[in-house]
Structure 1
Amino acid sequence: MPVHVERWDREAARRGMVWAPLAGLLVGGAAAFVGLVALMSGISSLPAAVISVAVLAVLTRGLHLDGLADVADGLGSAKSARGALRVMKQSDIGPFGVVALVFVLLAQVAVLDELYGQVGWAQGALGVMVAAVTARCAITLAARSGVPAARTDGLGASVAGTVPVRAAALVAASLAVAATVIGALVYWGDALHGAVTCLLAVLIGLTAAELLLQHCRRRFGGVTGDVFGALSETATTAALLAFALG
């Protein structure tokens, strides 16, 4: 989606990070819509799940998956913070990155296959959208004040610490409330079950991303653009797994 950027500074970065969940809503909505079209055309749940996950990847140009792979390689390198950051900046993908991508994508496809095939198309679409929005909310939380950048340049440096803690908490709380209400509406036959499932998906997704964020802070000294991508994919996968548990 072409966006005309008139200026790029810390204030613009703050607004972008605060409203990041809306981007997740657009991306998740598109993935859910394409998946539902596939199901209605007669395609079975497994290829429909693959299509939905592919849409999530394509609409982000694979940047979040690339970040996940780079962070996995950096964390698995057993090098110092500076050495790990050099590993992450290389264009190739190492064995840790490949393994991370394989298992994350398999988990996402497996959960959506189960939701589409055994639970219901509406619940599957809701799972995709909640996971995508939760992923962007994790980015908002990671850009909060007090979280430093690991480098002095790059995307991480331009957005790190731009979001006030109160604003980040408000975004997360708003998402939790909205997901709970929408879950109750979509699971109309069992509103309590739907509300709890969606709430847990948000909480589990954000918690998993926060745990990774804290580990990256200890390991790298702060956040980078790759870390933001890894947090997004981690939150997406954890939120979807919560739907599988539900």
Structure 2
Amino acid sequence: MNDAAAPSGPSPSPTLGDAMRFAFGTLTVLPVRLRRWDRPAARGGMLCAPVAGLVIGLASAALGTALLLLDSGPLLAAVATTAVPAALTRGLHLDGLADTADGLGSGKPAEDALRIMKQSDIGPFGVITLLFTLLAQVAAFAHLYERGWAHGAAAAVVAAVTARCALTLTARPGIPPARPDGLGAAVAGTVPLPAAAATAAAVIALATALGTHTGLPGALHSALAALLALATGEATLRRCRYRFGGITGDVFGAVAETTGLVAVVVLAVG
């Protein structure tokens, strides 16, 4: 994800509109005008990140389902379902994943790895990571659509919402920014831990509800997918914090992509 200047100075409490504008303005390409770029607005925006994920997931599910019902076949529906989140985020999360893979794969000290991540080109680690991530997403969605449109659509929503919930958890206290500026500095430590935990619980509850179309086993399976996905996002975050000394916008993208990938893969298994 691209970085921007960090906010500074005291500000009044943001409204729900401020929070939504921050979430959609930073996490999607939807035409939303940011009116505030400060830490209170960042806190609200990160708490609303799963709402942005819900919109992206519903759009992704809608296109995939429409193509499947038009008899396009599961594979094309899976490609469309994978493409929509990339388009609605201008590929920023995928770019962050690639940059983070290059930084981690470089084996260099934190300062040099962060410099590599800021470069505009993508190195071999980034290319390989992107390739297998997208292939895995398409394969998982194709398998789900083979079972029926509801399986693929539910997975698209669960993956998108859970991926953005991971961003909420990443913005909790105790996770420092790796740079003094950028998106990482803007949102690092803004979300209180109880609020982050409540958001995660709400997302897991939503995932459980979305799995009920196949009964209790499906509901439990969906909840497990969300839990394992969030755990993977946390593992990614911890690795990046250890290697880079904190978080950046690219790390946010990597956390979101790995979390979403694990969610859909777990849903495709079993």
TM-score normalised by length of structure 2? 0.88
For residues 82-97 of structure 1, what are the structure 2 equivalents within 5 Å?
82-97=111-126
Number of equivalent positions: 241
Matched residue, 2:57: 28
1:239 Cα shift? 0.3
Question: In the aligned structure 1, how far is the partner of 2:210 from the partner of 2:263?
Answer: 15
Aligned AA (1:212): T
Aligned to 1:245: 269
The letter for the 2-side match of 1:36 is T
Residue of structure 1 in register with 2:129 after alignment: 100
Q: Cα RMSD (Å) of the superposition?
A: 0.8
Question: Which has more helix, going by share of residues?
Answer: 1
* Aligned pair partner of 1:225 in 242, 249, 258: 249
Who is 1:201 aligned against?
A: 225
* Counterpart mapping for 1:90-239 below 5 A: 90-117=119-146, 119-184=147-212, 186-187=213-214, 191-239=215-263
SS at match of 1:139: helix
Structure 2 unaligned residues grouped into runs of 5+:
1-29
Aligned AA for 1:160?
A: A
Query: Is contact 2:82-2:137 (8 Å) kept?
Result: yes
- Render the CA deviation track for 1:144-173: whole Å, top value 9, x for unaligned: 011100000111110111000110000001
Between the aligned partners of 1:90 and 1:210, the Cα distance in structure 2 is: 25
- 1:15 matched to 2:56? The reply is no
* Corresponding letter in the other structure for 1:237: L
Identical pairs, percent: 58
Structure 1 segments unaligned to the other structure (5+ residues): none
Deviation at 1:227, TM superposition (A): 0.3
Q: What is the one-letter code of the residue matched to 1:182? A: L
* Superposed CA offset, 1:81-122 (max 9, x none): 0000000000000000000001100000000000001x2110
- Give the superposition deviation at 1:5: 2.2
Paired with 2:41 and 2:171, the residues of 1 have a C-alpha distance of 13
